[in-house]
Structure 1
Amino acid sequence: MRIGLDIWQEILSTIKQNKLRTVLTGFSVSWGIFMLIVLLGWGNGIIHAFEESSSDMAKNSIKIFPGWTNKTYDGLESNRRISFNNKDINITKNKFSDNVITAGATVKKEGVNLSYKDQYVSLDLTGVHPSYTEIEPCKLDQNGGRFINDMDIEQSRKVIVIHYKTRDVLFRKENAIGKFVNADGVIYRVVGVYRDKGNQDSRAAYIPFTAAQTIYNKADTLNNIIFTTRGLNTEKANKDFELEYRKALGASHRFDPTDMNAMYIWNRFTQYLQQMTAKNILTTAVWIIGIFTLLSGIVGVSNIMLITVKERTREIGIRKALGASPASVLWLIILESILITTIFGYIGMVAGIGVTEYMNAVEGAKTFGMGDMQMTVYKDPTVDLSVAIKATLTLIIAGTFAGFFPARKAVKIRPIEALRAE
């Protein structure tokens, strides 16, 4: 059957005769696609924040923090302070060599006044290994020199890597690389300048791990152990590794391996898996809510088409009596349904995209925290245009089916029965 201009004119005429009903039906369609896109944008804002917060961190990394024992063990009382030392780094490297790629540690000296000429800042010095930048979101600034290297560790060199904000305060417009700074009487040579995404403490400056232990009388103590792993690709594998690791350090420091308070393990891979699970749940929930909202609009369209068929029963009977083909009657109803869903679906899509773009402009990079310690909790709450178009096309297809069933009912109307209808 050829769909000519006359059938479109007839559809538009029918719509004009029922303006209010058409607008109310179309509004439910627009609202459905609008809510779907807005919900997707909101969900994407949270998901993008998850990705942003972990993008520069090694997902296969683990941090170990000492704690206080909560259980008696091996004749020792509870509430003992556990202190890590260099021996624990060797245990990590040697005993778990199959799963550990690089192992390091940090040691901190807090409240140091770093000065250059007449300028100074108060900050914390953190002794680190060269592998630190592979694990933490600490990247060298443009033309920012270098980070701590193996030679610095071997020779306990007095070199320092400062934050770009520290550089701006101390050196103003001067080039910081190669200059010497005074840290409460200890002279360090600036070898690098780093920057971060604002989720790290800009008061931190990095020096060689061995220099920190030697200069500040830390003996062989350390604040935490940090290392990257391989071959731990499932949550179970990571849990098994953590259990064995607790046993090894428990034997070294004489605490119960099941005492969770004695040692804290921050496993970024299991955290990542949890985030991915939360992301999938959030995405599924958004789509379910959005689809059900869409369905309410589609049901509205289908109901209106049923009412239209009932109101035009006599007209349809006359058409069929005069020789109208079933296909012409079928398309008359279906096309009206498609037209309503297409026009109002497009309006809802444009409105939804407009709202997500507004959300992005106003709250596109929401952070949480104070000062330099901030974390991204909401970012880029927008929807890809292709997703919006696919959702709208799905709506139009659904609108076709919404019109098909009333149209099939219209086709089955017998002319003699239709002419008797009032």
Structure 2
Amino acid sequence: MEQLLHYVWKHKLFATAPLKTTEGVDVEVIDTGLHNTNAGPDFFNAKIKLGDTLWVGNVEIHEKASQWFEHGHHLDARYNNVVLHVVGKADMDALTLDGDMPPQMELAVPNSVLTHYNELLAADKFPPCHNILHQLAPLTLHSWLAALQTERLESKTKAVIRRAELANGSWEDAFFITLARNFGFGVNGDAFERWAANVPLRCVDHHRDNVFQIEALFMGQAGLLTSESLPPRQHQMALKDEYFEQLKKEYSYLAHKFNLQPLDPAMWLFLRLRPQNFPHIRLSQLAMLYHSRTASLANIVACEGLAQLRKALFTKVSAYWQTHFVFGGGSKSSDKALSVASRDVLILNTVVPILFAYGRHRHNDILCERAFQLLEELRAENNHIVRMWQTCGLEVKNAGDTQALIQLKTEYCDRKDCLRCRIGYEYLKKG
């Protein structure tokens, strides 16, 4: 309830008159103040008129006045400048460290706001605010989606920066790890990130012109060249597979040369995975892409549009994997080239956050603007979250819109965090 009381105060969703302190002094709220999300009073620099006197200072909010002492504010000098203690129930007076008793005012959450808030929390249909979406002004929706799009991009940017820091400041490594993670296309994303972080690019660079050696190192580091990595029914076939033995021998040489340790093959997931998404296929595609040198960070940054990026990320498998999905198991011949749709997914989840993060790092606004431009150029995603919002009547034009709606669902709706949502605000104040 205290969180809702904060919300009512912040957005001034209460009757502004008559307001009085517990001592009967008239209160006029001119400015509720700046919401403080860190330690200290809840709102800074509020403007409150008590009787005929205008006060500028801090406001603290509690469900019960006694929580002032429970939270130790009477021992904290930061609360000496509280000009009004707003409470749901004034069960006792407050006292500051310097001995003053700040004026207190009881404030009730309006019945309509409380009713609407409980409706949002109790709703079992997603999104809980679905019945007012069609009533919202286009400008309200557009501005909120734009903010959510930036919020999601900022979150992805933090992940990229963290990878660069873990790679001792190497943005090339951070790009490779981000790209590899997204080659997992969801299911094996975590495994691919662990794998990429375990691939020493500086060592691989010495063998970049030899795609066989790159594939041996990539497969070997993934733990896929060991007997333990082979399912029982494929074990005998793989052991008789000449290419498997060649890769295994080559990796043994490279592992000794560079002092490498493979990962546990058990981290790779195969259950209910379509064959074209098997780690072997994706690793071969990555090896061919790395061999081509088109997907280096410098080349990606130099690309000026969607068409150039799609061309830079084009890749297929090596000759062996054109007729295999796993070692020893044959398949219909195909180059298993990465589709345009898959490349667009990589652009959305890898290139866009890399451009934005790297642009921030280099103070290059052009790269940051290009990231947003790509979000507008890329086609809208088609997944269950996007379809849910479309069912509610929201228009989806591009990947920027869908990224915003995914952010809304995962960071607000799923957490029932309606008090931070602009649509939630409209729902609470309706009527």
TM-score interval (norm. to shorter):
under 0.3
Determine which structure has the larger strand proportion and give its number: 1
Greater relative contact order (Cα < 8 A, sep 6+): 1
The normalised TM-score by structure 1 is 0.23
